[in-house]
């Protein structure tokens, strides 16, 4: 590891990744934002899914001040963050064939909706099948993943494919395989993951693009405001009433 404190080096690594994503994924971010805006304008619903720590970026755009009220979390019990004991069970569930189909079949998602699937590796059965099955239902799919995994690892899905192979739009987080940015002679393993920082920023960039795209079309973006500012609750109440048929996290 070069000169600088570990904190400085992590910030540098994260900033460099964010800059790469900003420059190299600009077109895809624009396309993803337009897809979400198209869906909202056409009366569709928005969903986000992520397993394990990838779920953090999905949760960050659901019921979020400054975010689109229509973004719903597609939750899979046992794989949202580290909400089970032992935590390793969540990782095991990501490799279970058929789970994605069961989740979609019992969810409100339907043709004409949009689904953002976040999976750093994109190699496990759950995100691959989620994308496959969602598109078969007529759902538009945006994948947020590290494309590097597809060339440096093997798929765990029976098809041998990755999440990126089954999406309408792919956003590449540029995260290196292993998700650890730093090394140190005195530490035997790489450390300091940056995937959450980068993926969350990617998601918010897409949300901002979608909101602006709606406004450009003369459609008021259904945005939530902070409940900690005067008038915030009243604003949110109006938005939630107006779009109640497309919001599922209140039921």
What pLDDT is recorded for position 80? Answer: 75
In a domain? residue 234: yes
Q: In the predicted model, what is the mean pLDDT of the chain? A: 93
| pLDDT tens profile 96-153 | 788 888 899 999 999 999 999 999 999 999 999 999 999 999 999 999 999 999 999 9
**Cis amide linkage into residue 192, ω under 30° from 0:** no
In a domain? residue 128: yes
In a domain? residue 12: no
Pairing of strands 182-184, 187-191: antiparallel
In a domain? residue 231: yes
Length reported for the chain: 251
In a domain? residue 191: yes
What pLDDT is recorded for position 92? Answer: 79
What predicted TM-score, i.e. pTM, was given to this entire model? 0.94
Number of structural domains the chain divides into = 1
Q: Which residue has the higher pLDDT, 89 or 56?
A: 56
Listed range (63-67, 76-80, 158-162, 241-245) with the worst mean pLDDT = 76-80
Q: Which residue range is the domain that position 223 belongs to? A: 26-243
In a domain? residue 13: no
With contact defined as beta carbons under 8 Å apart, do 113 and 44 qualify? yes
| pLDDT tens profile 45-79 | 999 999 888 999 999 999 999 999 999 999 887 78
Distance, first Cα to last Cα, the chain: 50
In a domain? residue 18: no
- Over residues 184-210, the mean pLDDT reads 96
Q: What is d(CA 53, CA 158) in angstroms, rounded to the nearest whole number?
A: 24
Q: Could you tell me the pLDDT band of residue 6, with boundaries at 50, 70 and 90? A: very high
Q: What is the CATH number of the domain that holds 154?
A: 3.40.50.10490
In a domain? residue 205: yes
- Over residues 204-230, the mean pLDDT reads 97
Q: What is the DSSP string of the chain?
A: --SS-HHHHHHHHHHHHHHHHHHHSHHHHHHHHHHHHHHHHTT--EEEEE-BTHHHHHHTTSS-TTSBTTEEE---TTTBTT-SSSTHHHHHHTT-TTHHHHHHHTSS--TT-EEEEE-SS--SHHHHHHHHHHHHTT-EEEEEE-THHHHHS---STT---GGGG-SEEEE--PPTTS--EEETTEEEEE---HHHHHHHHHHHHHHHHHHHHHHTT----B---TTSTTHHHHHHHHHHHTGGG--TT-
- Over residues 215-234, the mean pLDDT reads 96
């Amino acid at each position: 590891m070069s000169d600088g404190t570990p904190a400085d080096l992590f910030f540098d690594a994260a900033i460099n990744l964010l800059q790469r994503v900003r420059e190299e994924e600009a077109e895809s971010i624009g396309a993803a934002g337009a897809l979400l805006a198209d869906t909202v304008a056409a009366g569709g619903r928005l969903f986000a899914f992520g397993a394990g720590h990838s779920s953090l970026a999905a949760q960050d755009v659901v019921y979020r001040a400054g975010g689109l009220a229509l973004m719903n979390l597609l939750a899979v019990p046992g794989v949202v963050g580290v909400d089970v004991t032992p935590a390793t069970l969540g990782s095991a569930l990501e490799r279970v064939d058929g789970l994605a189909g069961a989740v979609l079949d019992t969810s409100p998602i339907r043709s004409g909706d949009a689904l953002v699937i976040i999976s750093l590796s994109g190699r496990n059965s759950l995100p691959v099948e989620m994308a496959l099955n969602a598109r078969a239902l007529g759902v538009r799919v945006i994948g947020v993943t590290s494309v590097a995994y597809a060339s440096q690892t093997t798929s765990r899905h029976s098809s041998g494919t990755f999440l990126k192979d089954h999406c309408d739009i792919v956003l590449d987080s540029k995260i290196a395989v292993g998700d650890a940015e730093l090394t140190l002679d005195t530490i035997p393993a790489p450390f300091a993951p940056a995937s959450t920082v980068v993926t969350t920023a990617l998601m918010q960039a897409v949300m901002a693009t979608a909101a602006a795209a709606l406004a450009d079309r003369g459609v008021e973006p259904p945005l939530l405001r902070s409940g900690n500012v005067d008038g915030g609750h009243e604003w949110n109440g109006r938005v939630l009433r107006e779009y109640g048929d497309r919001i599922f996290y209140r039921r």
